[in-house]
A and B are shown apart, each in its own frame.
Chain A
Amino acid sequence: MSIIWSMTWKELLRKRVALLTALMTIVFLIAFWFIASTLGNEVRDYGLSESDPMFAIEMFARGMMILSLGFFFGAFVVAFLAIFSASSVISGEAELGVMQALMPRPMPRWKWYVGRWLGYVSFGMLYALMLFAAILIIGDIHAGVPRDPMTLVVAYLLFASVVPLLVTLSMLGSTFFSGIGNGVFMTMLYGGGWLGGMIEKLSSQFVSLQEGRAGIGGDSLSNISGLLSLAMPADGLQRMMLDRLFNISGITELVGDNTGGMLMLFGVGAAPAPAFLWYALLYTLVAFGIGAWRFQRKDL
């Protein structure tokens, strides 16, 4: 299993997946730096003293806005890296003939499956860690960010949790579809989950769209967004991450939404209940089990 794990890392490095990802991340971070700088400096132009509590509140609100923006795009990058790195791992390699020589080796198929999974997940989570840290550092330089270590660890784990989720689904999809087909399927599924999250955010912003507003479609929207989030829990996990990172529920209760609605698009909306995390974990485990089972029986 460790042989396949290290082979997967070597593959990602040799195929320049890591290099291209790093280059594009640098471009993204440079752009993000300027955005964060612009948003952060705006507060300083208000003329508030740095000792003024309002300054601290404003800076923290700007920090939330900056980080929400950063993690909004960061989540996409991490998701697509996870999806496309694993989208052709089974059907694609079987079509190319790579498996023809490897699989007759004396290694149980499940070990190959787990080794590949560990390779993609460890790579994706390491990348997520670096991106998470970079976004936080930039946010901290230009505004304020939460500094509680436990909060940050939990937020990182939630941010990176989409990696095992999406790699697992992508590998499962690869037991059904060709490499390209699976990539398209996974992107559509991820897009569906993202749409569900957007509906949640809109619903939380506009009272008329909220559940229970009969005659205006609030219930239907709630059902659709719920189903989409269940089909693809990635966006829900990201919203949970932002909620934990900023303790948005608590702050909004305390001071109201002071971000001018910016959090609506890039932020949390209504954060999923803690049970959603268990659902996502179960979802991942079931998908992993089905994928490994299918691969075990697949004609290559």
Chain B
Amino acid sequence: MNAIHTEALTKRYSNGRGCSDVHISVREGEAFGFLGPNGAGKSTFVKMLVGLIFPTEGRASLFGEPAGTVAARRMLGYLPELYRYQEWLTGEEVVRLHAKLVGLGRDETNRRVPELLERVGIGLRSRDRVKNYSKGMQQRLGLACALVGDPRILFLDEPSSAMDPIGRSEVRQLLHELKAQGKTIFLNSHLMEDVESLCDRVALLNNGTVLQQGLVSDVLQQRPVWKLRIGGFAPALLDWLRVETGLELRVVAAESDGSAVLEAQLESEEQAGWLHSLLIGQGATLYESTKSRTKLEEWFVTELAGKSHRGEKL
């Protein structure tokens, strides 16, 4: 069963923003990255799924239940992007309030709340009023609230945007644990490294419409780029290699002492080994050979290059 399924989901605002005709399916246990520039409509889409706003057209369901209904909301945890918790409550009281709202019993609440507060890193300050929390602390608290009902699906809208590098790393680790537990994760984030490391599939939204979606591995399927640092380089060697291999080779850097860095797009490690042997056979010295993949960030920038954005410029 699909954890999330939308058909032509559309929200139109009078200012022309929102999102339109979004078709997305996310399987149970999958981590799904929802990407797009600022103002693309990502948060609008998530708000429709969690029942905060109502679609203008189209349908959405969570585990078969219409999005926004109490039955659908029973299965989700949500960390909004722009939110504030009740400043007059302590962190622990906020999580306890959410525990009551999701229907946890007293014993379960007493067991789960301190455990979660500890897990998200605010155990020591759980008795402080929320008004004294930094933005990063509030984001940790938000994660605890999202997780308190042990939801089947988690909607996280920029879950670590206000955190320091340690906090981000902890959140990344937590999300990997949750994924390993079989939770479905819907992640809105500008932190491409997090999306790349966590998500199985991604969708790219621009101006409210989905430009592309698919497996992260497919998106990054472009041939890996290899960089070879060699000695004894001469321009004639490059010409010979191009003719001999038929590969696209280029010089990234060349020094007067004969050392140089070559770059080639190769299909396999065998092909790399063959290139290495050809270089050595021609009398060159191979100092280093490294493979680098295309980053999701590069894909993001490339896909949106030349397209208009209604938010900020990329």
Nearest Cβ distance between residue B27 and chain A, in whole angstroms?
22
Report the bound CA distance from A247 to B275 in whole Å.
108
Interface 9-residue window, one of B69-77, B161-169, B250-258: B69-77
Distance (whole angstroms) from the CB of A299 to the closest CB of chain B:
4
Chain A 212-260 interface residues, beta-carbon cutoff 8 Å to B: none
- Check A106–B74 contact: CB distance below 8 A: yes
A107 at the interface (CB under 8 A from B): yes
Shortest beta-carbon distance, B65 to chain A, in Å? 11
B113 interface contact, C-beta 8 A: no
CA–CA, A16 and B147, complex, Å: 31
Q: Please report which residues of chain A, range 81-111, place their CB below 8 angstroms from some CB of chain B when the two chains form the complex.
A: 96-108
Once the chains are docked, how many angstroms separate the CA of A7 from the CA of B97?
Answer: 8
Chain B interface residue number, banded: 20 to 34
A7 to B98, CA, bound (A): 11
- From A96, A98, A299, B53 is in contact (CB under 8 Å) with A299
| Cα distance A243–B34 in the bound complex, in angstroms | 65
Residue from B52, B71, B97, B145 in contact with A103 in the complex, judged by beta carbons closer than 8 Å: B52
The reply to whether A106 and B73 contact each other, CB–CB distance below 8 Å, is yes
Among the stretches B80-88, B179-187, B301-309, the one at the interface with A is B80-88
Q: Which residues on the A side are within 8 Å of B249 (C-beta)?
A: none
| A106 near B82: Cβ-Cβ < 8 Å | no
With a cutoff of 8 Å between Cβ atoms, the chain A residues found around residue B82 in the complex are: 97, 100
* B contact residues around A15 at 8 Å (CB): 88
Given the interface contacts A96-B84, A101-B85, does A106 sit within 8 Å of B102 by beta carbon? yes
> Could you tell me if A105 and B73 are in contact, using CB atoms closer than 8 angstroms?
yes
Q: Which of A100, A108, A299 contacts B80 (CB 8 A)?
A: A100
**A97 in contact with B83 (CB, 8 Å):** yes
- Within the complex, the shortest CB–CB distance from A2 to chain B, in Å, comes to 9
A99: nearest chain-B partner, CB-CB: B52
A297 at the binding interface (Cβ < 8 Å): yes
Tell me the nearest residue of chain A to B75, going by C-beta: A106
- For B49-78 the 0/1 string (1 means CB < 8 A from A) is 011111000000000000000110110101
B86 touches A98 (CB 8 A): yes
A10, A100, A101, A299, most chain B CB atoms within 10 A: A101
Given known pairs A11-B88, A299-B52, the reply for A101 and B70 (CB within 8 Å) is: no
Q: Is the CB of A300 within 8 A of B53?
A: yes
Complex CA distance for A30 and B302, rounded to whole angstroms: 73
Binding site for B on A (CB under 8 A): 3, 7, 10-11, 14-15, 96-108, 297, 299-300
Report which B residues bind A (CB closer than 8 A).
47, 50-54, 70-71, 73-74, 76, 78-80, 82-86, 88-89, 97-98, 100-103, 142, 145
